[in-house]
């Protein structure tokens, strides 16, 4: 299985640079998992594609304002993306991705606005371990992916703080948004129980793997970064009730799908906290997820591979070609897709 098998052509003007005027006004491409048939809706109509007895599972992680612009002693600029605290969290140490890092070395101090200094401690593969004071955490910008272009004075930065966050974000710790959930409004979520559709949550803190390209030609040679998750007993109970009643488990996003499938790795879904590097690609047997809400992902990415594993590579790439032809908006601030089964 080659990474090139998950490529497709996307005109640059299809990459969404800002969110839709209203969260649930995004378009929704509906892909039938069995037949490959495609239909088109608005995201606010997603409940019409669900049934009483279904369970919608969301990821309640909250994105950290984790992007810092700092300068080297020579005056050169460095972009810092904080990824995760090094335990114990009160030690003030973080792992981070650094751009412009060629001349960096352990022991170097980087200057942030307000007289704050960051100290580089050690290189750890693609990441750096650094120490920074607590007050630096309040000075960062939202960690938008690199294909969303912003200047420092772009007025859309204020909008990003609201819209690059789900309405149900509760637990800080992610360095990227679980973007499938960006389309839900509080009203839309609140309307589901009245239609017999339950809602449950889990937490997976999206880590640096979402930014890193697949550098191998062979899919099986790629290794994902670990991400921390928490699956509450109440959500496991909701999944079991749904299955017992003949309903479907609807994962809102690839992060939810990965968490549920990782927690069912022993054969039975189990609650608890942990870390997972589960890499889902075609050939994976899904034990928990029956339907998937997801955005349109980058070519050759692990996220696209997961969708292909769930819906089939040919059907998924055919749906992507349809989305391009029909003018859908792609990536984090773009439109959505629902892959549903029987």
Q: Which domain holds residue 53?
A: 3-63+160-340
What CATH number is associated with residue 116?
2.40.10.240
Q: Are residues 300 and 220 in the same domain?
A: yes
204 shares its domain with 223: yes
CATH number of the domain that 270 lies in? 3.40.1780.10
Residues 179 and 46 in one domain: yes
* Whether residue 101 is found in the same domain as residue 200: no
Indicate if 195 and 312 belong to the same structural domain.
yes
In a domain, 59, yes or no: yes
Identify the domain boundary among 84, 106, 139: 139
With 0-12 CB in 10 A as exposed, 13-18 as middle and 19+ as buried, what is 286? middle
Q: Is residue 200 part of a domain?
A: yes
Residues 309 and 186 in one domain: yes
Quick one: pLDDT at residue 211?
Answer: 65
Listed residue (294, 297, 331) closest to 148, CA to CA? 331
Residue 89 has what pLDDT? 63
Q: Are residues 201 and 336 in the same domain?
A: yes
Residues forming beta bridges with residue 283, ordered by sequence position: none
* Structural domain count of the chain: 2
Name, in order, each residue with C-beta under 8 angstroms of 325's C-beta and a sequence gap of 6 or more: none
Peptide bond into 88 cis (omega under 30): yes
**Do 40 and 188 belong together in one domain?**
yes
Is residue 105 located within the same domain as residue 213? no
Q: Are 169 and 286 found together in one domain?
A: yes
Same domain assignment for residues 262 and 195: yes
In a domain, 153, yes or no: no
Domain contains 150: no
* Full-model pTM: 0.92
**DSSP letter string over 84-151?**
EEPSSGGG-EEEEEEES-TT--TT-EEEEGGGEEEEEEEEETTEEEEE--GGGGGG-B----TTS---
**Length of the chain, in residues:** 342
151 inside domain: no
- Measured in Å, how far apart are the chain's first and last C-alpha atoms? 28
* 164 part of a folded domain: yes
Domain boundary among 107, 139, 171: 139
Helix (H) or strand (E) holding 50: none
Residue in the structure block whose two tokens are 């979520």? 189
The answer to whether position 146 is within a domain reads: no
Per-residue pLDDT of the chain (342 residues; tens, 9 = 90+): 999 999 999 999 999 999 999 999 999 999 999 999 999 999 999 999 999 999 999 999 999 888 888 999 888 889 898 888 887 666 789 989 898 767 899 999 999 887 889 999 999 888 899 998 887 776 788 889 889 988 878 888 889 999 999 999 999 989 899 999 999 999 999 999 999 999 999 999 998 776 677 888 999 888 888 899 999 999 999 999 999 999 999 999 999 999 999 999 888 999 999 999 999 999 999 999 999 999 999 999 999 999 999 999 999 999 999 999 999 999 999 999 999 987
Residue 147 lies in a domain: no
- Indicate if 81 and 217 belong to the same structural domain: no
């Amino acid at each position: 299985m080659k990474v090139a098998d998950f490529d497709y052509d996307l005109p640059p003007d299809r990459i969404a640079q800002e969110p839709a005027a209203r969260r649930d006004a995004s378009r929704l491409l509906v892909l039938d998992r069995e037949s490959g048939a495609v239909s088109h809706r608005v995201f606010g109509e997603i409940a019409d594609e669900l049934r009483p007895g279904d369970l919608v599972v969301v990821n309640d992680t909250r994105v950290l304002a984790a992007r810092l612009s700092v300068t080297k002693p020579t005056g050169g600029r460095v972009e810092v993306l904080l990824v995760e605290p090094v335990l114990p969290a009160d030690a003030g140490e973080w792992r981070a991705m650094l751009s412009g890092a060629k001349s960096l070395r352990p022991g170097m101090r980087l200057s942030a606005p307000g007289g704050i200094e960051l100290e580089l401690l050690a290189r750890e593969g693609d990441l750096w371990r650094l120490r920074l004071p607590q007050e630096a955490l309040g000075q960062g910008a939202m960690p938008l992916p690199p294909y969303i272009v912003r200047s420092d004075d772009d007025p859309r930065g204020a909008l990003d703080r609201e819209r690059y966050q789900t309405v149900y974000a509760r637990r800080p710790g992610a360095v990227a948004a679980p973007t499938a959930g960006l389309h839900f409004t509080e009203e839309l979520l609140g309307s589901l129980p009245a239609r017999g559709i339950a809602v449950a949550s889990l937490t997976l803190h999206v880590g640096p793997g979402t930014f890193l390209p697949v550098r191998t030609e062979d899919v099986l040679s790629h290794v994902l970064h670990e991400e921390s998750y928490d699956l509450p007993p109440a959500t496991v109970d909701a999944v079991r009730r749904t299955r017992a009643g003949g309903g479907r488990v609807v994962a809102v996003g690839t992060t939810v799908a990965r968490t549920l499938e990782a927690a069912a790795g022993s054969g039975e879904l189990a609650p608890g906290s942990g870390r997972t590097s589960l890499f889902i690609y075609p050939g994976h047997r899904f034990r928990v997820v029956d339907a998937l809400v997801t955005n349109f992902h980058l070519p050759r990415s692990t996220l696209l591979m997961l969708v292909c594993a769930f819906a089939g590579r040919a059907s998924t790439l055919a749906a992507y070609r349809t989305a391009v032809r029909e003018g859908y908006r792609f990536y984090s601030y773009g439109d959505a897709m629902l892959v549903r089964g029987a």
